[in-house]
Structure 1
């Protein structure tokens, strides 16, 4: 049965459109807003179940905009297996780990990283640094682990890719490839949850039509923003996402 609450359509369509624009423009980054905003009109668990297939749907269209030529394969060689390892760790230790502690730790580290860039007057030029297997393994594992236990895998991965100093298209394309892998893997447990809550499948289908338009608009913005300005927004979004992650985690302890 289709949702009848007009507020659901207003909040839901707007949220998914914004997240889709972020996917097309930056390769991701705004997905962290999906569940909190949808939770304004849905129970949090339902919101998470609805968002899961929609971000995978966004990846499908983003692949059309950022093909294999835009992937940093030397990074993905380390990041992809580390991501899968992190997801596996999250699954194994899910019942033993407080997701609030994980979210607070990741949020604090990422805030420091982003603030450092802004406080230095953005003098950190985007000159490409060599691939760091150690940092890539740490970032990939942290991304996989936090995306499973706290639904917040974006900040550590974005921080690593920004540190690398890749050009804007390679940055976005690599992010799309990696987040797509993580989102597809996460579909397995979320599909099981969705079968127990069939109304969430209907809600996801209702919101899906805005996805291709959002990704297209994001790619349009990506192509027209110069690299310095685009990375300014990448760092700004990273900082806001990290602050929100840290704030939500600390507030949950009160």
Structure 2
């Protein structure tokens, strides 16, 4: 993987669980654990010897069914790598899903280490980023189906995350702005604060030019909101009252950490 696509996980390695239910999968899990120091391997008790060999000091064995472990994994970890079939993982996690803001990122890795498939919470949950780490660790090809990643365009809900920015927007506003970006609608991106080094470090690491449908501005007052499907505003300022109504439903505000070099 090139330097431009180095992954930045949104949580520490200690918040990642690697789950495997077969001997071959446990051996592969050991390589994953080695690439993610602090991660924990979960395996059936009957494979305790194999688990200890694969991840000494970084494993936990359970009795019973793997499905019985899902509630604790969802509660205790931000990211889950499952070396289990895709269909089985879908059935296992389905009863426990809540929303994209709180569900952990779940990635399925096949036993041959060929494919890393984000199944749940690709963006906010970090599953796409985990898949990128697995590419570096074991050579698995990430299978990214989120539109912004497939087209290598801007991911609205990840902009500036690696720089410590936080965003202010409702779920509906994120959905609308994301749709505007991937559907090539005109999008205004206004940057009044924060580091300008956010594109190459953004999401999965973009190396190409900013998409043509995204127009950059230096001040919010330079934007005619009616001309744009979404307005992305990076600033420390309160939203001017004169713009509040005009931006209703289609703005995402990003707040960089202060102080921060522009």
Give the TM-score normalised by the residue count of structure 2. Answer: 0.26
Q: Greater strand share, 1 or 2?
A: 2
Give the TM-score normalised by the residue count of structure 1. Answer: 0.27
Q: Greater helix share, 1 or 2?
A: 1
Higher relative contact order (CA 8 A, sep 6+): 1
